[in-house]
Amino acid sequence: MKRIVKAALLTSLAAALPMMLFAQGAAAPAAASQCQMADAEYQVYNNANTQTQPAAKAAALDAYLTQFPNSCVKLQTLQALPSLYVQAGDMTKAISAADRVLQLDPNDVTTLAQEAYLHYTAASKVTDADATKIPAERQPELDQAASFAQKALAAPKPANVDDATFTKFKEQWYPLLDSYIAFAALNKKDSADAEDFYKKEFAFVQGDPTLAPMLKTPAAAADTYFLATAYYQAQPPDYLNCAFYASRAAGLTQDAAMKTQAGQIAKYCYHQYHGQTDDQYDKLTQLAQANVTPPADLATTITPKPTPAETIAGILKTTTPDQLATADKEYILQNGTPEQVQQVWDTMKGKAFQFPGMVVVSSTPTQIQVASPGAVVPGQPPTADFTFNLAPPEDLPAKATLAQKKAYEKKQAAIAAAIAPGQTVTLSGTFDSYTPKPFMITMTDGQVILPEAAKPTKPSPAHAGAAHHTAPHRAK
C-alpha cells in the first residue's frame, strides 16, 4: 500500500538558529506538500520524524535519505537537517547538510542565511596559541559567511511563501546578514565595505518601528563599536564618525571592557578631529546617545581643528621663520602651503648651524643619518630626519710628527665611536635640500663636533632659545 504523506517544510523561512544578534525569530507557518510513499519507506520516514532528540532525529533523517535517495520529500527532509545539527552541536554536519540543500535549490533563501550563520559561527571558534594569527585564520570562514549572506540578501521571495511570512524572515535575518558581511570586511581592514554594511544594518532596523528595541541590545552596541573601528581604520581615518559611533557604543554597552575601550577610541578620534580641548565632547556624547546615525549638521556642531595651513599661519604671525625651532620648521616644510614652505626654507638653505643631541640611526665614514631630538619618540626606534654628508677629514701634514699622527688617529677613532648607531652626537653642517615624504633634511659640509670642541659660535634655533610651538613636527 502507498501512503499519502503531507510533509512539512520544516525550515522554509522558519528555523530559528540560536544566538541571533538582534532577536530570536519565531518559526514561520510551515508550508506543505503531498506525495505517495510505500509502507516500507513510510515506516522509516515516520520513525525518523518522531525522534525527540535533535541528534537522534538528524541521524535518522540522514539514514532515511541514504536508504531512499530519490524520496519525494528529499528537499524538505534536507531542509530540516541544518537546524537539527545545530541543536545537536555538530556544526560540521550542519554545514554539510546546508550544502546539500543548495545543490538541489541554489536559491533557498533560508538555507543561504543558515549557511552564513554557520560559517560565521565556525569563524568565531577559530583559536591559535598565537593570538595575532587569529584574525587571518578566521578570514576564510568569514568570507564564506559574507558570500552566503550576499546571496541570501539577493534571493527572491519563494513562490509558496506569503508576503507577511517573508517580511518576518527579513526582520529576523537581514540585519544579521548585513552584520556578517560587515564584519568579514572589517576583519581584513576593508573599511569601506564594513562601513557600508553596518550602516545598512542599522538603517534596516531603524526604518521599522517594531524593530527599534533591537538598537539597544548588546549586539547592537558591539556592531556600533565595530562601525567606529571601521571609520578609525579607514585611510584616511574618518575621525568625526569614529568619535560619534564609539561614543554611542560606550553609552550602549554594559560590558565594562568594551565601555572603556570604546570611550578611549571616542576621545582619541574626537581630539584628532577637534583638537586637544574637550569643550565640545559632552555635546558629542549627547548627540551620539540621542541619534542612531550622525545628525546632518554634526560636522559643524562639532567643529574641526584648524588645518595645518591655518596653524602655520598663526605661528608665523607671532614668530619670524629664523627664530622657529627645528621641529616647527620641519612641520611647516611638510604641511605648509607653497608660500609658507618657501618663506621658511629661505631662512634655512645655505645656512650653517650646529645641532647637539642628534641620535645616530646609521653611519658610514662619509654620511650620517640622525634623528633630531624632537623626532625621537620614547619607547620607539628613532627615525632619521637629517642626513649629514660629511666633509673630507683634514689631511695629515706630509711631515707630520709621531705625536701629530697619534693625535690624528685618536681623533678619527673618537669620531668613529661618536657616530656609532645609537650614540647621541653634536653635528654641524649647511642646509642643502629636503624631501617632504619621507621627510629628510640633507646637510652638506658635515662635521662631527667632539665634546672638547663643542663650543658653537652659531647654534641651531632648536637649541638657542628659539620659539617652539605646539604644532607636531612630523607628519606620520
301 and 320 both lie in a single domain: no
Rounded Cα distance between 347 and 431, Å, is 10
Residue 226 lies in a domain: yes
pLDDT at 453: 56
pLDDT at 350: 96
| Amino acid identity, position 363 | S
327 and 435 both lie in a single domain: yes
222 and 283 both lie in a single domain: yes
pLDDT at 464: 42
314 and 440 both lie in a single domain: yes
SS3 sequence of the chain:
CEEEEEEECCCCCCCCCCCCCCCCCCCCCCCEEEEEEEHHHHHHHHHHHCCCCHHHHHHHHHHHHHHCCCCCCHHHHHHHHHHHHHHHCCHHHHHHHHHHHHHHCCCCHHHHHHHHHHHHHHHHCCCCCCHHHHHHHHHHHHHHHHHHHHHHHHCCCCCCCCHHHHHHHHHHHHHHHHHHHHHHHHHCCCHHHHHHHHHHHHHHHHCCHHHHHHHHCHHHHHHHHHHHHHHHHCCCCCHHHHHHHHHHHHHHCCCHHHHHHHHHHHHHHHHHHHCCCCCCHHHHHHHHHHCCCCCCCHHHHCCCCCCHHHHHHHHHHHCCHHHECHHHHHHHHHHCCHHHHHHHHCCCCCCEEEEEEEEEEEECCCEEEEECHHHCCCCCCCCCCEEEEECCCCCCCCCCCHHHHHHHHHHHHHHHHHCCCCCEEEEEEEEEEEECCCCEEEEEEEEEECHHHCCCCCECHHHCCCECCCCCCCCC
pLDDT at 5: 58
pLDDT at 325: 86
Mean per-residue pLDDT pooled into runs of 10, the chain (476 residues): 48 34 31 75 94 95 95 93 93 95 95 95 84 85 97 94 92 94 96 97 87 86 96 96 97 94 96 94 96 95 92 91 88 92 94 94 95 86 95 84 89 93 96 92 96 58 47 43
36 and 122 both lie in a single domain: yes
289 and 173 both lie in a single domain: no
Cα separations in angstroms, 272 against 174, 195, 352:
34, 20, 36
State how beta strands 424-435 and 386-390 pair: unpaired
Rounded Cα distance between 420 and 437, Å, is 26
174 and 253 both lie in a single domain: no
pLDDT at 376: 85
In total, how many domains does the chain have? 3
Residue 207 lies in a domain: no
| Amino acid identity, position 275 | G
Q: Do 458 and 431 meet the contact criterion of CB atoms below 8 Å apart?
A: no
pLDDT at 185: 97
* Domain end marker among 305, 340, 372: 305
230 and 299 both lie in a single domain: yes
Residue 278 lies in a domain: yes
| Amino acid identity, position 8 | A
Quick one: which of 212, 278, 194, 197 has its CA closest to 243? 278
62 and 177 both lie in a single domain: yes
* Domain end marker among 282, 305, 328: 305
325 and 292 both lie in a single domain: no
Residue 397 lies in a domain: no
* Domain end marker among 141, 169, 188: 188
Quick one: which of 74, 16, 13, 83 has its CA closest to 55? 83
Residue 111 lies in a domain: yes
Q: Which domain holds residue 59?
A: 2-188
pLDDT, tens only, 60-78: 999 999 999 999 999 999 9
285 and 332 both lie in a single domain: no
Residue 212 lies in a domain: no
Cα separations in angstroms, 267 against 233, 237, 476:
15, 14, 20
Q: Do 154 and 116 meet the contact criterion of CB atoms below 8 Å apart?
A: no
Residue 117 lies in a domain: yes
Q: Which three cell numbers stand for residue 80?
A: 530540516
Residue 194 lies in a domain: no
Q: Do 114 and 83 meet the contact criterion of CB atoms below 8 Å apart?
A: yes
279 and 332 both lie in a single domain: no
Q: Which three cell numbers stand for residue 347?
A: 631662512
